[in-house]
A = this chain, B = another copy of it.
Amino acid sequence: MVKKVIDNGKKGVRYNLVLNERAHLVLHSIIENYIQSSEPIGSRTLSKTIGITLSPATIRNIMSDLAELGYLIQNHTSAGRVPTDKAYRFYVNSLASPPSIPQQIKEKISQVSNEQGSQVEAILAEAVRMLAELTKFACVVSTPKAAVSRLQRIELIKISEDRILVILVTKAGVVRDKIIFTKDSQSQEFLNSVAEFLNDKFKNHSMQEIREEIHESMVDDRNRYHDLLAHAIRLGKKAFELNQPGEMLIDGQMNLLLDSHFHEQSSVRSLIDAFDQKSAIMKILDDSMKYKGVHIFIGIENDLKQLQGCSLITASYRNNQNVLGSIGVVGPTSMDYKRIISMVDYTAKILSKTITEQSYD
């Protein structure tokens, strides 16, 4: 491991692995140039576009240092330099929190579901589509986690002798339905009573809480002898368990295929598979819900192999009470971070606002 010493500007004082201001500027400039052109940046080109006057030779020296420090690589001896993932990390860290965003884009994003009475899923679908259209990359959004969302109402509908359709409406405005089976057939009237009972008892509780409370009720022996209660517990257990794993909406996958960065590589196939499986990307979105504001995963930082040529930019959205989910953009590591970050950030904000307004409170 080579440890290169670079002058930090102050005469006589030297630090290991610290770049001076000029080196920062050069690196910054290389990255922005590369993001624009997608072509290796040479010393000559750079000396023209960079603000200060600096000869190609000097730039070459600096570039050589940056390369040794792992910020740049050369594809072959006589080619320009290309930023590494480390360089992009440096770059995004140096960006001020969400860069400004053109008014025009703002207005476009704001159009996401100003229509009254849209369901949450529809709003999310529209948002992810809009974001894909604006960014020209693939976009994903996770639907509100069932576990944290609060019950608005439950309905039990008898659809055949042994099947009951359960409909759960959450405060966040999501409707979920599933079918459960019973051995002993119940009348619709009885089911209505059971549903009413569950509504009374669990309205405004989170799914997580409900599951726990039901579990507690089950261990309490006394409840067994109360017919309605016993059925309510038994059906409730089935109704609230295993609320299907968090869903994810995807849009604009096509954009990636048409993007020259991916077109060249043969790794397209595996990238698509990653999207098909969903679970891995879902995990990243879940992760990102922990962070406040925009969060960025760059290339190699992704656990998932197939995503290592990509960067993910995510932001969580929420209603009054909870963080509900996360929206994100998947693109090449050399994407225009400033632009995309501001879009993701703003979209998440609009999403939060819209969903809060539509909440059933």
Residues of A within 8 A of B (CB): 116-119, 152-153, 155, 157, 159-160, 163, 165, 167, 169, 175, 177-181, 253-254, 257-258, 268-269, 272, 360-361
- A20 CB to closest chain B CB (Å) equals 46
Residues A157 and B155 in contact in the complex (CB < 8 Å), given A117-B180, A167-B175, A257-B257 = yes
Name the CB-closest residue of B to A174: B177
The answer to whether B258 and A268 touch across the interface, beta carbons within 8 angstroms, is: yes
Q: Give the shortest distance, in Å, between A358 (CB) and chain B (any CB).
A: 9
Chain B minimum-CB-distance residue to A157:
B153
CB distance from A273 to the nearest CB of B (A): 9
A117 pairs with B175, CB closer than 8 A: no
User: Min CB distance, A276 to chain B, in Å?
Assistant: 8
CB < 8 Å: which of B152, B160, B167 contacts A167?
A: B167
- Whether A178 contacts B253 in the complex (CB less than 8 A), given A258-B269, A269-B258, comes out as no
Contact of B179 with A117 in the complex, beta carbons under 8 Å:
yes
A9: min CB distance to chain B, Å: 50
Q: How far is the CA of A157 from the CA of B167 in the complex (A)?
A: 11
Collect the chain B residues with CB atoms within 8 Å of residue A258's CB. 257, 268-269, 272
Contact present for B167 and A117 (CB under 8 Å): no
User: How many Å lie between the Cα of A151 and that of B152 in the bound state?
Assistant: 25
* Closest chain B residue to A360, Cβ basis: B159
Known: A167-B167, A169-B165. A117 touches B181 (CB 8 A): yes
Residues of B close to A159: CB separation below 8 A = 152-153, 169, 360
Chain B residues near A253 (CB-CB < 8 A): 253-254
